[in-house]
Amino acid sequence: MLRAIGHRFFKMLQQSLYALGFFFQVLRESLFFLRRQKVAFKVLTMQIYFTGVKALGIITLIALAIGAAILINGIAVLPQFGQGNLVYLILITVITRELGPVLTAFIVIARSATAIATELGDMVVTHQIEAYVSIGINPVSYLVVPRFLGVTISTILLTIYFNFIGLFAAFFLTQVIKPIPFFDYFYNLFNALKVVDVITMIMKSLVFGIIISITASYYALKVQVASTEIPVAVIKAVGQGFVLCIIADVIITLVYYI
Amino acid sequence: MKLKMPIVDQIVGLFIVIAILALAGLLILIGINQRWFAKNYNFSTRFNSMSGLEMGMSVTLKGFVIGKVSGIQMNPEDRFVYVDFYIYDEFYSHVVKPNSVIQLQTSPLGLGTALIFNPGKSETNIPQPPLAEGSFIFSNHMDEGKRLLSRGMVEGAASEDTLGSLIASIGPILSNLEPILVNTNQILIHVNDALEGSRDTALGNTLYNLDKSVNEIYVALATVNKGPSANTSGPLGTVLTNAASMTDTLNLELKRQLETLNSTLINLEGITANLDSLSKDPRGLAVKLIDPKGSLKTLLDDNNAIYNDVIEMMNSLAQIVNELESLSRFLTGSTPQISGILQEGQDVLDKSQDVMEALINNPLLSGGVSEKQEMPSTFQSTRDEDF
Amino acid sequence: MRELIYLDNVSFTSENFEIIREVKLSLPKNLTTVIMGSSGCGKSTLLKIAAGIYPPDSGLVYLKDKDLLELNEKENREFRKISGFVFQDSALFANTNIYENIALPLKYHFPKLSAKEVSERVEALCAELGFHDSTSLRPARLSFGERKVISFLRAIVCEPEILYLDDPTQSVDSRFQENIIKVIKRFKDKGASIIMITHDPKLVSQIADYLVIVKKGEILDAGDFNSVKQNKDPYARQLLSQVLGEAASFDNDLLDLLNE
C-alpha cells in the first residue's frame, strides 16, 4: 500500500519533471523560433488561422450573450439598490477579468487542444515525427513551437475580441431592448476599467494559452505506437487543460487581489 | 479544405492587427478617461479625522469633479490627517485662488461624504493669480478654514444639498429659539413679579417708586392743604388732584393690560415647554423627521391635519407675539430690549414655519420615504464620482 | 574498409520487449550495406537506431567517433543534410501536399534556394522517378506504392551521402521499382553510403557490398557480401537462398558479358 503510494508519487513527480522539461524546451525553442524557423512560419500562420480566426464566430456569440445578459440584468436589478454604477464593475469583473479569459480558454481547449492532440498523436503513430527527425527538423521547434505560439497568441487575441464584443457589441445589442445613453455608458465604462484589469486579462489569456498548447502537445507526443492511444491523449489534454487553466485562474485572481 | 496561403496570411494579419489596434485604442481611451496624459496640480490639506475620506475620492466644485485625492497620511505626532490631492489643469488656474478652503461635508442622510473645493474670493476686486502647485490649502477642520468660511471669503460655501441644508438648519433654528423663549419667559416673570408688587425688579421698582411718589405727593398735598390757606380747591390743589387721578387711571390701565397679558402668558408657557422639549434634542428631531415611520410621516400622511394644527399653533404664537409686541411698545420706555428679543422670536417662528412648509412641500419626503423610492438614473451623468 | 557508423552494445526495448539486444555493428562508408532478417526481427529498429532516430536504451551509436545522439545542433543539421531516410510506412507529412513533402528538406537545408529552383529540382526528380501525378495532392490520395516513391524522393532530394532505405521497393509497381533501383545505383556509383533493408533479391544481388543478417534482435552475421553468403546457419541459408539464386544468375550474366 505505502509502497504503491510512494511508487505513484515518484512516477507523478517524474512525469511532472518531464513535462516541465518539455515546457522549458518549448520555451527555449520559441526564443529561437523567429530567427531560424522560416519553414515553420507557415505552421504558425495556419495555427493562428485555425485557433484564432476560425473561433471568432463562437467567441462573438458567447461574448455577446454574456455581455448583453449582464447589462440587461444589471440595469434592471442594480438601481433598485441604488447601485446602478455597479453594472460597470460587474461587466469588467466578469468579462475582462474572469469569464472572458476562462471561456476563451475553454473554447480554445475544445477546438484546438483536441485538434493539436489528435494531429500530433497521429503524427507520432504514423512516424511523421520520426520523418521530421530524419530530415533534421526538431519536432519540438517545428511542430510544437508554432502550435504553442499560435495557440497562445490566438488565445490572447480571442480574449481581446471577447472583451470588445462583450463590452461594446453587447452595448449596441442592449440598445435595442433597453437604451442607455451612449456617452454615459462609455464614459463610465472607461472610468471603471483600470489598466490592471487589462493586464490581468492579458496575463490570464497568456498563461491559459501556454497551458493549453503545452498540455495538448505533451500528451500527444506521449503517444507511442497505437492509434487507440490518440483518444486517450485527447481526453487527457482536454481534462488536464481545464484543470490547469482553472488553477491558474485562481492563482492569478488571488495575485490580483493581494 | 483549400485555401490559398496568401489569403490566409492576409486574414491572420488582419486578425492580429485589429486586435492590437483595438487593445491600443482601449488603453488610450482608458488613459484619456483616467487622465494619464493631462497635467495635474498637487496640493495638500489637513483634517482632524480620516472618516469619510478615501483614496481616489473626488474633489468637487459645485458637484463637478475637478480633482482627486491622491494620498492620505496620519502624522502620529500631531494626530492630524494630511491629505494630498490634485486639481485638473483645466480648473487649476481659475479655481485655486488664495483663500480657498477645502470642505469635507458629510451628508446627514448618510449618503456619503463629499470633498468640496471652495475657491477663495479676492478681498479687493482685482483678480489674483492661482496658488502655486504644492501649496497648503486650509480645510474646514482648521480654524483658518472655518474663519474664511464664516467671513464669506470663499465662493459657494453654502451647501448644495437642499434637503440636507434644510434639515441641517432645523437644529440651529431650534437652538436659537430656545434662548429666546427662555428670555421671553424671564421677561414675563419679571413683569409678573412687578405686577405682584415684588420690588427687586426694574419694572417693579419703577412702578413702586411711581406709587410711592404719588403717595408722597398726596402727603405733600395734604400738608400743603393744611398749610396757610388750607384750601384744596386752590390752583395747586386742583393740579395735584388731577395728577393723582391721572396716576390712578394709569395704574388701573396698566393693571388691566397686564392681566390680559398674564392669561396669554399661561398659554405661551405651555407652548414654550413643548418647543423646549423639542429643541433640547435637535438631532433627535432630525432623526424623527427622516424616520419613514416616524412623526414626520404621520405628520405628512394625515391629510395635513397635524400640519394644520402646527400652522394654527404657529399662527396663535404669532398672535401672542404680536400682543407681546404691543405690550412691549407700551413698556418701551423701561425695557427697550424686549422689543428686539420679541422681534427675533417672531423671525425664528417665521423661519420654523418656513421649514415646516418646506418639509411639507418637499417631494422627496411627502408621502413617506420608504414605500416608493425615487429611482436615481442608472447611468450617472459625467459628474458623478467613479468607484 | 572505412567505418561510417559503429553501434556499440546497443539495446532497445519497447513495451517490455527487447527488440534489439546488445548489438555491436560496424557499418562501412561509401559501400552499400543490406540488412536482412525475417519479419519482426528488429531490422527497422536497428536502421532507425543507426540513423539516430531512435535513441537506444543502452549502448552508444558512433558517427566518426562522435556520439550520434549527442551531436550539437550544427553537427546534427550537417549530418541530416547529407543523409536521407525512407520509412517502411513512408511516413509522409499528412497535412501538406506531395510537393511540400518532397521540398521540405530542400527548403530546410538550403533556405537560400529560390522557390523556382526548389520546384525545378522537385520536378526533375519526379521526372527521373517517372512520377507524373499532380504534386498538389495530399499523400492520403496516393496508393501505398506511390507514397513509398514520394518518401524516396523526399529522402534523396538533397542528394545525400548517406541513404537509409527501409524496404524502398516494397509494394511499388515494377516501373517505379526499376527507376528506384536505377537511382540507388546512381547514388552507389557516386560513392554514397547506403544502408538498406530489403527482401528484394534482385536489389540485393545487384548492389549489396556488405551484408548484415539479423535474427531476433541480434546480429547473426555481418561482413562482406561474399563472405556472409557462405554462412551455413539454416536461418541465413533460408534468407539467402533466393538472393543467391539471383546473384548466381547475375554472375552468369557477367560471364556472358565477358564472353562476348
Q: How many of the other CB atoms lie within 10 Å of CB of B155?
A: 18
Cβ within 8 Å of C, A 202-231? 224-225
Query: Using 50, 70 and 90 to split pLDDT, how confident is the model at B372?
Result: very low
Residue A130 at interface with chain C, using a CB cutoff of 8 Å: yes
The pLDDT assigned to B138 comes to 85
* Res C119 pLDDT > 60: yes
Q: Is A131 on the interface with C (CB under 8 A)?
A: yes
How many Å apart are CA C182 and CA C178, to the nearest integer?
Answer: 6
DSSP code for A4: H
- Report pLDDT for B48: 83
Contact partners for chain B, using 3 or more CB pairs closer than 8 A, are A
Mean pLDDT of B325-332: 63
Query: Angle at Cα B238 formed by Cα B237 and Cα B241, nearest 5°?
Result: 85
pLDDT (tens digit per residue) in B221-263: 555 445 444 444 445 455 555 555 655 665 666 666 666 666 6
Mutant choice from C71, C80, C114 vs A, greatest count of A C-beta within 10 A: C80
Task: Look at B15 and A164 and tell me if their CB atoms are within 8 Å.
Answer: no
**Can you tell me the distance from the alpha carbon of A252 to that of B15, in angstroms, rounded to the nearest whole number?**
27
| Residue B228 confidence (pLDDT) | 44
Check residue B371 and give its pLDDT: 43
Closest by alpha carbon to A45, among A146, A155, A161? A146
C80 touches chain A (CB under 8 A): yes
Q: Chain B residue closest to A83 (CA)?
A: B378
Which of A39, A119, A122 is closest, CB to CB, to C108? A39
For chain C, the 3-state helix, strand and coil shares in percent, each to the nearest 5, are 45, 25, 30
Tell me, what's the pLDDT at B269? 65
Cell 480554445 belongs to A108
The Cα–Cα gap between C152 and C160 comes to 12
**Nearest by CB: B386 against A46, A160, A191:** A191
Question: Cβ A190–B19 below 8 Å, yes or no?
Answer: no
For chain C, the residue count is 260
Residues of A in contact with B15 (CB under 8 A): 48-49, 52-53, 56, 157
Q: Is B34 on the interface with A (CB under 8 A)?
A: yes
Taking the CA of residue A85 and the nearest CA in chain C, the distance in Å comes to: 52
Given C53, C84, C91, which is nearest A128 (Cβ)?
Answer: C91
**End-to-end Cα separation, chain A, in angstroms:** 41
What chain A residue is nearest to C156 in terms of C-alpha separation?
A: A135
Helix (H, G, I), strand (E, B) or coil at C3: strand
Interatomic CA distance for residues C124 and C132, integer angstroms? 11
Per DSSP, which regions of chain B are E strands? 40-47, 58-61, 64-75, 80-88, 101-106, 113-118, 138-139
Instruction: Give the pLDDT score at B104.
Output: 83
Chain A CB contacts of B379 under 8 Å are: 84, 180-181, 184-185, 188
What are the pLDDT digits (tens) for B39-93? 788 888 888 887 778 887 888 888 788 888 888 888 888 888 888 888 888 888 8
Question: Which residues in C lie closer than 8 A to residue A126 (C-beta atoms)?
Answer: 89, 91, 94
**pLDDT(B127) > 60:** yes
**pLDDT the model gives residue B369:** 41
For residue A131, give the nearest of C15, C93, C111 by CB distance: C93
Q: Residue B335 corresponds to which amino acid?
A: T
Lowest pLDDT segment from A147-156, A164-173, B175-184, C225-234: B175-184
- The SS3 call for residue B67 is strand
Q: What's the rounded Cα separation, in Å, for the pair C100 and B91?
A: 67
Number of H helices, E strands in chain A: 13, 0
pLDDT reading at B368 higher than 50: no
Domain ranges of chain A: 2-257
Do residues C123 and C114 make contact, with C-beta atoms less than 8 angstroms apart? no
Q: In this complex, do B27 and A198 lie within 8 Å of one another by their Cβ atoms?
A: yes
Q: pTM of the entire structure?
A: 0.67
What's the pLDDT at A110? Answer: 95
Measured between CA atoms, the residue of chain A closest to residue C87 is A131
Q: Of C171 and B248, which is predicted with more confidence?
A: C171
pLDDT at residue A187, as a whole number: 84
Tens-digit pLDDT profile for residues B12-28:
999 999 999 999 998 88
CB–CB contact C91 A136 (8 Å): no
Report the range of poorest mean pLDDT among A14-23, B37-46, B289-298, C130-139.
B289-298
Partners of B9 on chain A (C-beta within 8 Å) are 45
Of the candidates A208, A251, A3, the residue with the CA atom closest to the CA atom of residue A107: A208
User: Is A154:A51 a contact under the CB 8 Å cutoff?
Assistant: yes
10-29 in chain C: CB under 8 A from chain A: 14-15
Nearest-CB residue to A48 (from B12, B26, B384): B12
Would the CB atoms of A84 and B22 count as touching at under 8 Å? Answer: no
Which candidate from B30, B32, B381 shows the least CB-CB separation from A184?
B381
Counting beta carbons within 10 angstroms of the beta carbon of residue A109, is it exposed (0 to 12), middle (13 to 18) or buried (19 or more)? buried
Residue, of B250 and A217, whose pLDDT is higher? A217
Judged by CB atoms closer than 8 Å, whether chains meet at B19 and A87 is answered as: no
Q: Least CB-CB distance to A131: which of C79, C87, C95?
A: C87
Identify the band that residue B29 occupies on the pLDDT scale cut at 50, 70 and 90. Answer: confident
Segment among A135-149, B198-212, B245-259, B280-294 with least mean pLDDT: B280-294
Tell me whether residues A52 and B384 touch, CB distance under 8 A: no
Report CB contact under 8 Å: A45, B9. Answer: yes
Q: Which of A185-199, B170-184, B268-282, C165-179 has the lowest mean pLDDT?
A: B268-282
Which residue of chain C is at minimal alpha-carbon distance from A131? C91
**pLDDT digits 0-9 by tens, A125-140:** 999 999 999 998 888 8
Nearest to B195, CA basis, from B344, B319, B327: B327
Give the closest-approach CA distance of B338 to chain A in angstroms.
52
pLDDT-derived band at A163 (thresholds 50, 70, 90) equals: very high
**Residue for grid cell 393690560:** B257
Read off the pLDDT of each residue in B281-306 and give the average, rounded to a whole number: 53
Taking the Cβ of residue C91 and every Cβ of chain A, the question of whether any pair is shorter than 8 Å is answered with yes
User: Searching chain B, which residue's CA lies closest to the CA of residue A46?
Assistant: B8
Range with lowest mean pLDDT among A186-195, B111-120, C8-17, C99-108:
B111-120
pLDDT of B305: 60
- A134 contacts C109? CB cut-off 8 A: no
Question: What mean pLDDT comes out for the span B358-365?
Answer: 62
Pick from A182-191, B111-120, B298-307, C75-84 the range whose average pLDDT is largest: C75-84
The CA–CA distances, whole Å, from C36 to B87, C163, C199, C218 equal: 89, 16, 7, 12
The residue whose grid cell reads 516513391 is C149
Q: What percent of chain C has pLDDT over 90?
A: 36
The ipTM is 0.88
Average pLDDT, integer, range C7-24: 89
pLDDT of B209 higher than 70: no
* Interface size between A and B, measured as CB pairs under 8 A: 88
* Chain C residues within an 8 Å CB radius of A135: 80, 85, 104-105, 108, 154
Query: What sign for the dihedral angle of Cα A54, A55, A61, A63?
Result: negative
The residue behind cell 520487449 is C17
Please state, rounded to an integer, the average pLDDT across all residues of chain C: 87
* Identity of the residue in A75, A86, A187 whose CB atom sits nearest the CB atom of B382: A187
- What pLDDT does residue C80 have? 92
The C-alpha atoms of residue C36 and residue C46 are separated, in whole angstroms, by 11
Sequence-ordered list of residues with C-beta below 8 angstroms from that of A252, at least 6 positions apart, any chain: A200, A203, A204, A207
Distance from CA of C75 to the nearest CA of A (A): 10
Closest CA to C201 of C227, C231, C225: C225
Higher pLDDT, C91 or B188: C91
Mean pLDDT score, C109-117: 90
Mean pLDDT of chain B: 68
Does residue B11 sit at the A interface (CB-CB below 8 Å)? yes
Interface size between A and C, measured as CB pairs under 8 A:
62
| DSSP state letter for B120 | B
The pLDDT value recorded for residue B77 is 85
Whether residues A188 and B380 touch (CB distance < 8 A) is answered with yes
Is B376 in Cβ contact with A82 (below 8 Å)? yes
The nearest alpha carbon in chain A to B372 belongs to A80
User: Which of A189-193, A234-238, C115-119 shows the lowest mean pLDDT across its residues?
Assistant: A189-193
Strands B40-47 and B80-88: antiparallel
Q: Which DSSP symbol is given to B136? A: B
In angstroms, how far is CA C79 from the centroid of its own chain?
Answer: 15
Say yes or no for a CB contact (<8 Å) between A46 and B387. no
Q: Distance, in angstroms, between C240 CA and closest chain A CA?
A: 30
pLDDT at A48: 93
Radius of gyration of chain A (CA): 21
Report residue B95: phi and psi, to 5°: -110, -45
One DSSP character per residue, A144-189 reads IHHHHHHHHHHHHHHHHHHHHIIIIIHHHHHHHHS---HHHHHHHH
Look at C81 and A136 and tell me if their CB atoms are within 8 Å. yes
The reply to whether residue C85 touches residue A131, judged by beta carbons under 8 angstroms, is: yes
Instruction: Answer for the pair C48, C54: CB distance below 8 angstroms, yes or no.
Output: yes
Residues in CB range of C88: below 8 A, 6 or more apart:
C44, C166, C167, C170, C197
pLDDT digits (tens, 9 = 90+) for C187-246: 999 999 999 998 888 788 888 899 999 988 889 888 898 888 888 888 888 888 877 776
Q: Which grid coordinates belong to A63?
A: 461574448
pLDDT winner (highest mean) among A158-172, B136-150, C193-207? A158-172
Q: Does A128 touch chain C (CB under 8 A)?
A: yes
CA distance B102 to B60: 9
B203 — pLDDT class (breaks 50, 70, 90): low
